[in-house]
Amino acid sequence: MRSRSADTREVMFIVEYQDGRIRYVTASNRDLRNGDRAALAIASMKQQDGEIPEGAIISVKRVH
């Protein structure tokens, strides 16, 4: 069984835009429980909320 603190840790991702810009976003382990593929949806939600700029996102990759 995982501890509660593991679920609340943040994971950082690099968001790459079509025009070459990059931004960093974080997501909780809880939001990623179905895998890193959820990171693109999270980045899109952060765009809608104004946390990162609008634009065509071409990739979202976990920072190691």
Name 17's bridge partners: 57
Range of the domain at 48: 4-62
Answer whether 0.85 is exceeded by the pTM: no
Whether 39 contacts 24, CB under 8 Å: no
pLDDT per position as a tens digit, 11-53 = 999 999 999 999 999 999 998 988 888 999 999 999 999 999 9
Count up the domains in the chain and report the number.
Answer: 1
Whether 48 contacts 32, CB under 8 Å: no
- Comparing C-alpha atoms, which of 23, 25, 22 is closest to residue 38? 25
